Structure 1
């Protein structure tokens, strides 16, 4: 029997039992610690009474939109005649119903359109009336225009309030563009454009058809900005001429730093203010960073340094004195580098924001949400401080248990890990909202460092929230289950010079001169069930007789990079060599992929795929079992029965970027559907951008339901946008 926290079942069972005559209670059972048949009957009646009581309590709660069950939301919406969108998102539906009267009172205002976009989609938005950015002839009712005598005087404020002059460039309506302000000039063609344009009568779509009288631009920031706790930067030694610089990224990659999504809920409604660029979760351009650091405190909405990025003097900052002042460091925000104006200290720590599409992979988000609880057996151990704490010979590493829970409670870099032998249930995890990096040391003589985890028969392994880079993971022995959840096994970065002659290398080089090789997951032992959830992975392969009975992957990205430029010649009698860019290579067992993006080939025995993107040739031995449904697959693949799926060309361009570390990694392009190869039959073709079972996009980000959110937003705009105006959706990120 399931126990509830209200204990109603116990309360009503005891109450009924005490109402019975004492003679019947005494004759029910001879055992003091056991229940007789009468007591068991009373307990079951009490359980049913508890269910009835809970139902009555929920009936009271269901009368309010704040506390009602999800299934009640449409019924309350009908009472208000709300045009409730079917976006499969109870949060957005609940807000829609709760704020219906609020919306109607502010219908047609710019402030409401921005708030509506945030409530329906959860994305930050800025709405621009494009007719205000059109050059036009002035008439007699227009306010006075001309160069102001002093910035901030009455004429200056009036011109900015009426949209007759830009805040930064002071460009005036109908006049020529002023290019004196570097940051203001760089915003041309964005939501913060201060120049005036000639009309564009094309239909508004993407980057075209903006400047027309009925068009209203809805700029959406779809990427999330993740606030990373103190991490360990990497000193730049490659190239040597950049000595003294550091990368914010702990793997040594050059990444674009993101601004914090600092727009608060109280800045909507009666206190609405159109957001500044530094308040929105987008990449920080160098012009924006320079303008923000030089501006006076009253002239900027928020300080990018230290709110979005910070250089620290301690990994555990306690006060403002632990933050290195902005005038003591130089920052290249587009590259993700920084340097001290003087000699750097021996140890440096940083905090920064990075951008990504979803809460998958290792990251500083709440991993407890939207998943079942993971096993955390005793004994419990916590590691902190980074460095060699997990390396052989260190005191903490020598105490790592063979069964239990090991937690890394910070986001610093650990320079390697000792081999582990599990005899029971072993959980290795990051602290909640932390992203520790285990950066395996570089191998010698062309070898790759391996982190070996062995298991005794009946043992289980859980990896949760870890970021592992620099080498391979090797599984030996026997495991009943292996669970990898919310982890990033670095898929590596390909060299940009592979097309050069001669080739310069297979992989990109980090700031400290190491190759950014993929972290491969090798199975050399026996695994009954390998489960991967919400993770970013390199290749998963077997060798040395390794076996996996069931491989189950959901909401994840798998990528395999070519490991060699050319393959050695083979004899015509030799079996065909396996391609070196295979993301999953198993000679037995069953593979189940659900809402996954696979960059690379697949070579498995049996396969079931749902709502995924296979950007590589997939070859399945047993095509009589399994199914491929709501999936994009590459031409030339050998797959089982297909349902509502589409075929794409080899090396089809589908994503903003396939380079791990880029904010748009595996994010679908708006033109992704053009890669579909139309069949010769007249059957209805599915799409990639809206081809999942629930109408969202295929691939690892199907869980975000971006297509459904955007459709819901357009439906709500039809209800609350002024008559005659047409929304133009622009994806900023």
Structure 2
């Protein structure tokens, strides 16, 4: 722990200095005063290491606090077989919960927790024998019915419920199938899934990331006050994801912390999985007559006192009855006899009963917030979708709709609906009324595979307080010449001002935010003097439609760093307008250019005097299709775990003098001038590339089948497609996939999960792993 901030090294250095006789200190001072001090600092450093080791002896006895080196020794005490050392989180969870696993071996709860503990993904276990059609006998008891379709257990499907039919083959399928005798396909597939001995593990690798207070983009300014928006501030179509269960007792289980009682684990519901929200799930509203509704009728001010008791008595006859939707509930209540139908079916009474009778286990109750901002389960932070500013819309006035073909004439909303939303595209129609549309704010969630580019994940932010703050689209203060500029929210900032006198500047997004800076022209940051430094952290830079906007670095710089940034690679918005890319242009001199965990649209020099000595890129995506290649002809480039996207195998993605590349996927051509220095190891490139010393590298003959999607905005952007060559999935130095998602260790996590499932699975069962995203 050489970077520990415990002060041990300084303490021991001063203590040793005090012990040195004064005569030696005086003699050392006469000779410069540095040699003896340096020797004592070296000894003090080792003393500090020993002191820290002694301090950690007690902590190393506990799995929650122990260092990684101590885990194998604790594992021997409980005789567990450790998974790969490349997955320290899984190792620690395995040792911590070994006794818990063994006591409950073979139970669905343990098998689902293994998914979360070994991989960090969300999983849903299906015992496939429960989905096989068969004849029932008298010992079976009463057949359970499907929640949506009411299909009896093991029986014929009821296809009249459209949403249930759309779930066929899903983890929440309610239909039943004839058995098949094939073994399940490995590593993932549906062949052999419907077997008597098969356990189906449905796996979701993506994370659901929340964005609060986002300023949506208005892309259709229609006649009247109803306009068309996208949740994404750039105007793109972005699918919306559901929220995980905030209780911590379902979905992803943390290793330590809530839930402390691991036996409280329960399987995640359909609306608590990190996947795209279905429009029918969003509209699912199931009502049930309950005690709260009866109590409200007895005290409702909209019902006359003489009618309250008879109305409650009539409603009590329906206690426990469910209604598939609001119209069915209104029709049933309005049809009650004895004159109570007119009372219970009145609009004001129905408005009061709907929030009370809405079941917590339906889609709209879990995904949408009421007027107070809470879901039906009381999970205020976990509501997936909500209008925060403007006119907040309660769930009763929200409706999912298909908006894939919207035009300047927006679709009409049903009576009583203020917010039409298409969650699969992230589009919505909203009536801002007399309010300024720029004041509209949203909460929504989307999915991301890894922390690459600007995002709202918990990245580490320097604890140094900011000197200048931007908030709520206010850029009046400008960009300072030095210090820290912090952007405190998720709104859109138009045309940030240039700064021609930068000395030491950091422009960063606050923790948990993703501000969108829209450029109308070049954003120029110029150094004042020599050897200046610049840090851009957590920013998303986009260009206005029709503008040519670039990030221009001018002047003499010692170091320029981009960290968790997105320089928009371009594309099209929800109405087909072209979004220009934002390139990184160097017009000055940069000694060291560092790009970490970012998405960039090409890096180029401009001007005869422009130069970059070294470029270091780690965990990055470079989209060379619209933004152009990394074109640095006199630069030494280091690429680690990067993906470079080209149009096809003939696209130039990289031009540099020297290259050191590791675990990097170049979906195009790389042209390196000096092939005598550097190396290209555990990486892949297209034919025709000129590279130094290839080692354990591969050739790519088809770019189109490599990626799941190449459209920026899709959650799986630049990730490998299942059709990609199998060698790319395990071709990195660590045995992970080659490219920007190498550090996510997907193959290693899957291997760890398979090893532990085999250990704790019931006897004579076969696992089937289905990667849902």
Tell me which interval the TM-score lies in, with the shorter structure as reference length. 0.7 to 0.9
**1:593 paired residue number:** 639
**1:250 paired residue number:** 233
Deviation digits for residues 573-611 of structure 1, max 9, x if unmatched?
Answer: xxxxxxxx7421222212211100100232413322110
Write the mapping of 1:215-364 to structure 2, written as runs, cut at 5 A.
215-237=198-220, 244-262=227-245, 264-267=247-250, 269-291=262-284, 296-300=358-362, 303-306=366-369, 307-313=383-389, 326-327=396-397, 328-340=418-430, 343=433, 345-346=435-436, 347-364=439-456
Q: Distance in 1 between matches of 2:151 and 2:640?
A: 52
Cα-Cα RMSD: 3.1
Q: Distance in 1 between matches of 2:592 and 2:8?
A: 39
Residues 5 and 603 of structure 1, relative CA distance in 2, 3 Å threshold: closer
**2:148 paired residue number:** 168
Write the mapping of 1:59-208 to structure 2, written as runs, cut at 5 A.
59-144=57-142, 159-160=143-144, 165-205=145-185, 206-208=189-191
Once the two structures are overlaid, the 10-residue window that deviates more, 430-439 or 344-353, is 344-353
Please give the secondary structure, in 2, of the residue aligned with 1:255. coil
Please give the secondary structure, in 1, of the residue aligned with 2:151. coil
1:339 Cα offset (Å): 2.3
1:561 Cα offset (Å): 2.4
Please give the secondary structure, in 1, of the residue aligned with 2:220. coil
Residues 344 and 276 of structure 1, relative CA distance in 2, 3 Å threshold: farther
Find 1:605's aligned residue among 645, 649, 656: 656
Report if aligned partners of 2:645, 2:653 keep a CA contact under 8 Å in 1. Answer: no
Residues 36 and 333 of structure 1, relative CA distance in 2, 3 Å threshold: closer
1:467 Cα offset (Å): 0.3
**2:498 paired residue number:** 419
**2:537 paired residue number:** 464
Please give the secondary structure, in 1, of the residue aligned with 2:138. coil
**1:711 paired residue number:** 751
Q: Distance in 1 between matches of 2:13 and 2:672?
A: 57
Residues 114 and 384 of structure 1, relative CA distance in 2, 3 Å threshold: same
Q: Distance in 2 between matches of 1:99 and 1:227?
A: 30
Please give the secondary structure, in 2, of the residue aligned with 1:171. coil
Structure 2: any 5+ residue segments left out of the alignment? 254-261, 287-324, 326-356, 370-382, 398-417, 544-548, 647-651
Q: Distance in 2 between matches of 1:548 and 1:45?
A: 40
Report if aligned partners of 1:258, 1:354 keep a CA contact under 8 Å in 2. Answer: yes
Q: Distance in 1 between matches of 2:61 and 2:269?
A: 40
Q: Distance in 2 between matches of 1:220 and 1:415?
A: 40
Residues 627 and 10 of structure 1, relative CA distance in 2, 3 Å threshold: closer
**1:481 corresponds to 2:559:** yes
Find 1:452's aligned residue among 519, 524, 539: 524
**1:396 corresponds to 2:477:** yes
1:137 Cα offset (Å): 2.2
Q: Distance in 1 between matches of 2:772 and 2:458?
A: 26
Find 1:533's aligned residue among 590, 596, 609: 596
Residues 264 and 177 of structure 1, relative CA distance in 2, 3 Å threshold: same
Deviation digits for residues 624-662 of structure 1, max 9, x if unmatched?
Answer: 222111111112222222111111114341111100000
Q: Distance in 2 between matches of 1:170 and 1:473?
A: 58
Find 2:716's aligned residue among 664, 667, 670: 664
**2:301 paired residue number:** none
Q: Distance in 1 between matches of 2:632 and 2:13?
A: 55
1:7 Cα offset (Å): 4.3
1:555 Cα offset (Å): 0.1
Residues 402 and 643 of structure 1, relative CA distance in 2, 3 Å threshold: same
Deviation digits for residues 337-356 of structure 1, max 9, x if unmatched?
Answer: 22236747323111111111
1:49 Cα offset (Å): 5.2
Residues 663 and 104 of structure 1, relative CA distance in 2, 3 Å threshold: same
1:723 Cα offset (Å): 1.6
Report if aligned partners of 2:514, 2:539 keep a CA contact under 8 Å in 1. Answer: yes
Write the mapping of 1:35-54 to structure 2, written as runs, cut at 5 A.
50-54=48-52
Report if aligned partners of 1:385, 1:410 keep a CA contact under 8 Å in 2. Answer: yes
1:61 Cα offset (Å): 1.8
1:437 Cα offset (Å): 0.3
Q: Distance in 2 between matches of 1:637 and 1:28?
A: 62
Q: Distance in 2 between matches of 1:39 and 1:688?
A: 52
1:330 Cα offset (Å): 2.0
Find 1:640's aligned residue among 651, 669, 692: 692
Q: Distance in 1 between matches of 2:510 and 2:772?
A: 32
Report if aligned partners of 2:490, 2:516 keep a CA contact under 8 Å in 1. Answer: yes
**1:547 corresponds to 2:620:** no
Q: Distance in 2 between matches of 1:133 and 1:3?
A: 55
1:211 Cα offset (Å): 0.5
**2:513 paired residue number:** 434
Structure 1: any 5+ residue segments left out of the alignment? 145-158, 315-320, 442-448, 494-507, 563-580, 675-686
Please give the secondary structure, in 2, of the residue aligned with 1:422. strand
**2:728 paired residue number:** 688
Report if aligned partners of 2:360, 2:366 keep a CA contact under 8 Å in 1. Answer: no
**1:381 corresponds to 2:433:** no
Please give the secondary structure, in 1, of the residue aligned with 2:730. coil
**2:621 paired residue number:** 557
1:5 Cα offset (Å): 4.6
**2:767 paired residue number:** 727
Residues 120 and 524 of structure 1, relative CA distance in 2, 3 Å threshold: same
Report if aligned partners of 1:596, 1:611 keep a CA contact under 8 Å in 2. Answer: yes
1:622 Cα offset (Å): 2.1
Once the two structures are overlaid, the 10-residue window that deviates more, 662-671 or 689-698, is 662-671
Q: Distance in 2 between matches of 1:36 and 1:98?
A: 49
1:175 Cα offset (Å): 3.3
Q: Distance in 2 between matches of 1:229 and 1:250?
A: 12
Q: Distance in 2 between matches of 1:337 and 1:605?
A: 42
Once the two structures are overlaid, the 10-residue window that deviates more, 52-61 or 120-129, is 52-61
Report if aligned partners of 1:385, 1:412 keep a CA contact under 8 Å in 2. Answer: yes
**1:584 paired residue number:** 630
Please give the secondary structure, in 1, of the residue aligned with 2:480. coil
Please give the secondary structure, in 1, of the residue aligned with 2:754. helix
Residues 125 and 52 of structure 1, relative CA distance in 2, 3 Å threshold: same
Please give the secondary structure, in 2, of the residue aligned with 1:60. helix
Q: Distance in 2 between matches of 1:349 and 1:480?
A: 40
Report if aligned partners of 1:539, 1:559 keep a CA contact under 8 Å in 2. Answer: yes
Report if aligned partners of 1:588, 1:604 keep a CA contact under 8 Å in 2. Answer: no
Residues 412 and 250 of structure 1, relative CA distance in 2, 3 Å threshold: same
Deviation digits for residues 501-557 of structure 1, max 9, x if unmatched?
Answer: xxxxxxx2445x752111111122222211100001111112222221111111000
Deviation digits for residues 193-239 of structure 1, max 9, x if unmatched?
Answer: 00001123333232322111111110111011111121111113289
Q: Distance in 1 between matches of 2:37 and 2:540?
A: 54
Deviation digits for residues 310-329 of structure 1, max 9, x if unmatched?
Answer: 11126xxxxxx966555142
